[in-house]
Structure 1
Amino acid sequence: MTPLKLRGFEIYKDMIPKSDQERILNDLCSIIEKAPLFTPQTPFGKPMSVRMTSAGKYGWYSDRSGYRYRTTHPNGTSWPPIPDKILDIWRAVGVKDRLPQCCLINFYDDAARMGMHQDKDEADFNWPVVSVSLGDDALFRIGNQTRGGKTKSLWLQSGDVVVMGGDARLTYHGVDRIKSGSSQLLRKGGRLNLTLRIVD
């Protein structure tokens, strides 16, 4: 499959068939049972509009102490392992030398947003971040390697995969809005975004 390329981002449209999306969703439900979704706080003490959890060796976490990875869920348990179906996506986009150590799971309801940001809490930026969209459409915004300047936007649908590597690895990006009811994958609506990362 040949990706669409936009500012160094590789966008694989409709990469994940519906049947695989449903299997992945079942795996995610099992993860969320063991490591429930929680609402992180920014270092400024504001709650984020997304709820999140993780799978893998590490989970991403944020509170007044800052952004970081940790080896346990806020309830004190270890994060569940990353399911094989999700690891298959990582391999399918050409990352074969190492497996991801974190699968960050963000849940967006129709009011959730994600401001422009860089993924830069990892030790080695030579490894890409691989993003998987499931559920409702999201308006994804791509910026520049510094704040400000002109941006590009596109809609991501359920089953789309985005690879942020090379020059795009530290490019600012975010989610402006969710198109409620655009997918029937999640019974109660919303969007799940998985981002796979190598941490250390």
Structure 2
Amino acid sequence: MIFTETKIQGAFIVDLELQRDSRGFFARTFCIQEFEARGLKYTIAQCNLSFNYKKGTLRGMHYQIPPSQETKLVRCIQGAIYDVIIDLRPESPSYLSHIGVELNAENRLALYIPSGVAHGFQTLADETEVTYQMGDFYAPEYSSGYRYDDPVFNIEWPLPVSEISDKDKTWGLFN
């Protein structure tokens, strides 16, 4: 696995090291030893799958508050997404910064998201599937979020929003 650190402290783009032969390729998508070698303590508590019918669907910006903060490893296995994270950790040098990364079935990239960082994505193709390996269990009582169009973050989404949940439309603004 190839880890590339992003401008968000502790967040990494994770690429595969493909072992090719006449059959195709083999690649490791997760290895606790490789995460620990980078100081990333990562356990998998649950795995989730998101299927999205329409291009332009937006999910986010979600995070969980203590004591149930989540780390995530997100990968798009069908279609494509523009994946966005926002650093909400006041002690972090990248506090309030955000990045966007295209994850798709062709590039096979994953995004490792540390706890205390909000996450959301927009689909770039119809019928897009996204997998999440979660470092803690989903706990609705600790679930929180901010509006995807919050002017404090000024995220430039690549497409007009075609679908969004009522909950995601009504998250509060940061200030």
The answer to whether the 8 Å contact 1:142/1:152 transfers is: yes
Cα deviation for residue 90 of structure 1 reads 4.8
Q: State whether structure 2 residue 136 is matched by structure 1 residue 136.
A: no
Q: How does 1:17-32 map to 2 (within 5 A)?
A: 19=25
SS at match of 1:12: strand
- Find the partner of 2:102 among 143, 152, 155: 155
The answer to whether the 8 Å contact 1:108/1:191 transfers is: yes
- Find the partner of 1:191 among 113, 121, 129: 129
- 5+ long unaligned stretches in structure 2: 90-95, 139-175
Cα deviation for residue 141 of structure 1 reads 1.8
Compute the RMSD of aligned alpha carbons.
Answer: 3.6
Cα deviation for residue 99 of structure 1 reads 4.0
Q: How does 1:96-135 map to 2 (within 5 A)?
A: 99-111=43-55, 112-118=57-63, 120=64, 123=67, 125=69, 128-135=71-78
SS at match of 2:50: strand
Residues 100, 150 of structure 1: alpha-carbon distance in 2 compared, 3 angstrom cutoff = closer
SS at match of 2:3: coil
Number of equivalent positions: 120
- 5+ long unaligned stretches in structure 1: 22-84, 181-188
Q: State whether structure 2 residue 124 is matched by structure 1 residue 178.
A: yes
Once the two structures are superposed, residues 19-52 of structure 1 have per-residue CA deviations (whole angstroms, 9 ceiling, x without a partner) of 558xxxxxxxxxxxxxxxxxxxxxxxxxxxxxxx
The answer to whether the 8 Å contact 1:123/1:199 transfers is: no
In 2, the alpha carbon distance for the partners of 1:134 and 1:122 equals 30
Cα deviation for residue 163 of structure 1 reads 1.3
Residues 105, 19 of structure 1: alpha-carbon distance in 2 compared, 3 angstrom cutoff = farther
TM value normalised by structure 2: 0.52
Once the two structures are superposed, residues 47-89 of structure 1 have per-residue CA deviations (whole angstroms, 9 ceiling, x without a partner) of xxxxxxxxxxxxxxxxxxxxxxxxxxxxxxxxxxxxxx8xx61
Once the two structures are superposed, residues 153-196 of structure 1 have per-residue CA deviations (whole angstroms, 9 ceiling, x without a partner) of 2211232121122xxx212221123234xxxxxxxx42222233
- Find the partner of 1:10 among 6, 9, 12: 12
Residues 179, 128 of structure 1: alpha-carbon distance in 2 compared, 3 angstrom cutoff = same
In 1, the alpha carbon distance for the partners of 2:75 and 2:50 equals 10
Residues 92, 191 of structure 1: alpha-carbon distance in 2 compared, 3 angstrom cutoff = farther
- Find the partner of 2:32 among 91, 105, 116: 91
The answer to whether the 8 Å contact 1:14/1:157 transfers is: no
Q: What's 2:161 paired with?
A: none
In 2, the alpha carbon distance for the partners of 1:178 and 1:108 equals 10
SS at match of 2:32: helix
TM value normalised by structure 1: 0.46
Q: What's 1:40 paired with?
A: none
